[in-house]
Amino acid sequence: MPLNIPNILTLLRILTLPLLLWLIYLDSAAAAPWAFALYVLSAITDFFDGYLARKLNQTSAFGTFIDPIADKIFVLGVLLVLVDLAILDGLWLIAVLIIIVRELLVSGLREFLGPYNVKLPVTQLAKWKTTIQMVALAALILTPMSALAYAAGLGFLGVAALLTLITGTQYLIAGIKAMGEIDKQ
């Protein structure tokens, strides 16, 4: 495993996750700004690890492997804590389920199609989905401080869930099409 800047950023994101989840779990106005700051810092490293890997020509097999895993445990960890605290409950659990199922679906498709050298490239809409999802979670982390942040977070989460459905469907269609081509071989 090359210990380069992009991989260090990804590993830091994973290593700070327990602290982030603990700060959210405190569910207090005093801890919320710290949780928010750590979340935003982690989200920024998510952008910069890939950017720097390409810019500095430091892409690696380890980075390609660990970055998507870090992304998923980061988002799913925060979502599960928000559910456990009942910040996300009722019908909002459907949005959470949509996000979880889509993440598993896309990961499964990529895992299955990888040995066949079939790639499912990230679409522009999926990038928007990720950005809106990150904004939603950031706002929801501030719930103990602000009812407005909570309302905004729910709004963004609703949009993210809709985009998650759309992009999940797009990836599923592309995956099924690729499987059909594989079956013809």
Q: pLDDT tens digits, the chain, 185 residues: what are they?
A: 779 999 999 999 999 999 999 999 999 999 999 999 999 999 999 889 989 999 999 999 999 899 999 999 999 999 999 999 999 999 999 999 999 999 999 999 999 999 999 999 999 999 999 999 999 999 999 999 999 999 999 999 999 999 999 999 999 999 999 999 999 98
Q: What domains are there in the chain, each with its CATH number?
A: 5-184 (1.20.120.1760)
Res 2: pLDDT: 79
* 152 and 139 Cβ atoms separated by less than 8 Å: yes
The structure's pTM equals: 0.93
Return the closest-CA partner of residue 32 out of 160, 132, 137. 137
Q: Hey, is 144 helix, strand or coil?
A: coil
Torsional class of 4: left (φ above 0), alpha (ψ -120 to 50), beta (otherwise): beta
* 23 and 38 Cβ atoms separated by less than 8 Å: yes
Tokens coding 136: 């939603």
Residue 3 CB partners (closer than 8 Å, separation 6+)? none
Return the closest-CA partner of residue 138 out of 160, 122, 168, 106. 160
